[in-house]
Amino acid sequence: MSKRRGCLVAFFSRDKREVGYVWPVVFAVLVHVVVVMFSVINLESKDAEPEPSSIVHATLVSTETYTDQAQQANDNQVTSNVPSQPPEKTPPQEEPTPPSRPLEKAVIDQAEELAEARETQALEEARAKAEAQAQRRTEEAERRALEAAARETERAEQQAEEQRRREELARQEQEAEAQRRREEEQARQAQEAKEQRLREEKLARQAQEAEAQRRREEEQARQAQEAAEAERQRQLEGQAEAAADARQAEQAANSFIAIVRRAVEQAWLIPGGASDTMTATIQVRLGPSGEVLATSVAISSGDSAFDRSAIQAVEHVAPFTELRELSAEQQRSLRQFNLRFTPGDVR
């Protein structure tokens, strides 16, 4: 009692000279926690490695074909993706450029034509003006001559005046005509330019529409491809699942057969006179709960004692209750099987 109290005092003591137990306890717990953590972490990393089991071979074969398929599918995907992309990509960049090139040319041609027309017009005008001026000068000279002749007659003068006025009018008319013609020409040209522009716009719009259309089509194609891809993926998964199921079933069947074989092997008392090369195949039929319904010699070894010993071994081990653990389908397939007995196998 007193010792325990002493212990307690020491435990809670804050005496400088006596070492308490609080910190040691904390440290000790810490050490253990660290060790446990390390062991857990190590085991987790070890778990990642595939563990060898007795049916590794079967598993490996099935996964090989399965992954191969997936690989092929992936390859297909890649190859189908690679060529389909470039041809779709290249045309859109070239398409908008060709229409713009002729358009430009046309515009330039037009402008040249326009300039020529304007030049010829200007020439014509200049000629007309020169003619008019010359005429006027001759007329003036005449008039001056007439005046110098001291006005032969008022009428003549008036006539000349009139004529001059008429000519002036004609000239003005001619000028107005020329002006009008020029304006008309310009208006026509403007209209033509406008039309040209409209045409260009239309072309651009059409190009744009074509682009949009193409893009839409592309999108649709891509979606279709994706859908197909998903479908394929699903199929693959389904296949994988089916493969896994099949594998499991196969494993179960394998294990059942292994159990039966081992049990029979252990129970088999090989008759003394049997040689290693003797072989007997016994057909076994099982009931639903694993009991042996019938055994018969499928292929005899030629030695009846040997055959009998094999049948006895099977009957000795029966019933095979493990059959009940399998699924109904497997049970049906495993109801009847053959067992081959060879002494060399066992020894």
Contacts with other proteins, residue ranges (CB under 8 A): 17-19, 21, 23-25, 27-29, 31-32, 35, 39-40, 43, 47, 51, 53-54, 258-259, 262-263, 322
Q: How far apart are CA 115 and CA 122, in angstroms?
A: 10
Question: In terms of CB distance, is 161 or 315 closer to other proteins?
Answer: 315
- State in angstroms the smallest separation of the CB of 302 from other proteins: 31
- State in angstroms the smallest separation of the CB of 287 from other proteins: 18
Cα radius of gyration rounded to whole Å, the chain: 57
- State in angstroms the smallest separation of the CB of 309 from other proteins: 21
And the tokens for 231? 């479908």
Of 252, 243, 248, 250, give the one whose Cα is nearest residue 65: 243
Of 44, 61, 71, 66, give the one whose Cα is nearest residue 238: 66
Question: In terms of CB distance, is 51 or 94 closer to other proteins?
Answer: 51
154 Rama sector, left if φ>0, alpha if ψ -120 to 50, beta otherwise: alpha
- State in angstroms the smallest separation of the CB of 67 from other proteins: 22
Q: How far apart are CA 300 and CA 308, in angstroms?
A: 10
Cis peptide before 319 (omega within 30 of 0): yes
* Number of Cβ within a 10 Å radius of residue 339: 21
Question: In terms of CB distance, is 17 or 101 closer to other proteins?
Answer: 17
Cα distances (Å, whole numbers) of residue 169 to 159, 175, 176: 15, 10, 10
Question: In terms of CB distance, is 54 or 213 closer to other proteins?
Answer: 54
Cα-Cα-Cα-Cα torsion 248, 254, 256, 258, nearest 10 degrees, comes to -150
Question: In terms of CB distance, is 41 or 305 closer to other proteins?
Answer: 41
- State in angstroms the smallest separation of the CB of 334 from other proteins: 16
- State in angstroms the smallest separation of the CB of 26 from other proteins: 9
110 Rama sector, left if φ>0, alpha if ψ -120 to 50, beta otherwise: alpha
- State in angstroms the smallest separation of the CB of 11 from other proteins: 10
- State in angstroms the smallest separation of the CB of 320 from other proteins: 9
Q: How far apart are CA 102 and CA 198, in angstroms?
A: 15
- State in angstroms the smallest separation of the CB of 220 from other proteins: 47
Question: In terms of CB distance, is 103 or 292 closer to other proteins?
Answer: 292
Of 11, 34, 35, give the one whose Cα is nearest residue 22: 11
Question: In terms of CB distance, is 22 or 134 closer to other proteins?
Answer: 22
Question: In terms of CB distance, is 299 or 346 closer to other proteins?
Answer: 346
Residue reference for tokens 């059942």: 256
Question: In terms of CB distance, is 19 or 176 closer to other proteins?
Answer: 19
The three-state secondary structure class of 65 is helix
* Number of Cβ within a 10 Å radius of residue 68: 10
DSSP bridge pairs for 297: 282
